[in-house]
Amino acid sequence: MDNAEEFRDKIIAERRRGALPERMSVQVAEVTGDVNLETGKGRVQRPLIVVKNGKPLLTDAHLTQLRKHELSWQDLVKQGVIEHLDAAEEENTLVAFTASDLTEAHTHMEVTPLAILGLCTSLVPFANYNQSARLNAGSKNQKQALGLYAANYLVRMDMDTNVLHEAQMPIVRSDMHIISDYASHPSGQNMIVAIMSYKGYNMEDAIIINKASLDRGLARNTYFRPSVAEELRYSGGLVDEVCIPDKDVKGYRSEKDYRYLEEDGIIYPEASVQEEDVIIGKTSPPRFLSGMDEYSLTSNIRRESSVSMPHGEKGKVDFVLLTENDEGNRMVQVRIRDQRVPEIGDKFTSRHGQKGVIGLIVPQSDMPFSVSGITPDIIFSPHGIPSRMTIAHLIELVGGKLGSLEGRYIDGTAFDAEDPDALRKALVSHGFRESGTEQ
Using one digit for the tens of pLDDT, what is the confidence trace for 144-184? Answer: 999 999 999 999 999 999 999 999 999 999 999 999 999 99
Angle between helices 420-429 and 391-406 (to 10 degrees): 40
Give the closest residue to 207 by CA, choosing from 370, 378, 50, 89: 378
Alpha-carbon distance 426 to 84, whole Å?
Answer: 42
Q: Residue 292 has what pLDDT?
A: 54
Q: Which of 205, 338, 411, 416 is catalytic?
A: 205
Q: Residue 187 has what pLDDT?
A: 94
Domains in the chain, please, with CATH?
4-111 (no CATH), 122-156+165-219+344-429 (2.40.270.10), 222-340 (2.40.50.150)
Low-confidence ranges of the chain (pLDDT < 50): 294-299
* Single pTM value for the model: 0.84
Q: Residue 95 has what pLDDT?
A: 96
From first CA to last CA, the distance across the chain in angstroms is 73
205: annotated active-site residue: yes
Using one digit for the tens of pLDDT, what is the confidence trace for 307-347? Answer: 999 999 999 999 999 999 998 999 999 999 999 999 999 99
Alpha-carbon distance 336 to 317, whole Å?
Answer: 5
E-only strand ranges, 191-286 = 193-195, 206-210, 221-230, 241-242, 272-273, 278-280, 282-284
Q: Residue 1 has what pLDDT?
A: 54
Q: Residue 297 has what pLDDT?
A: 47
Q: What does the DSSP assignment read for 407-434?
A: TS-EE--TTSPPPHHHHHHHHHHTTS-T
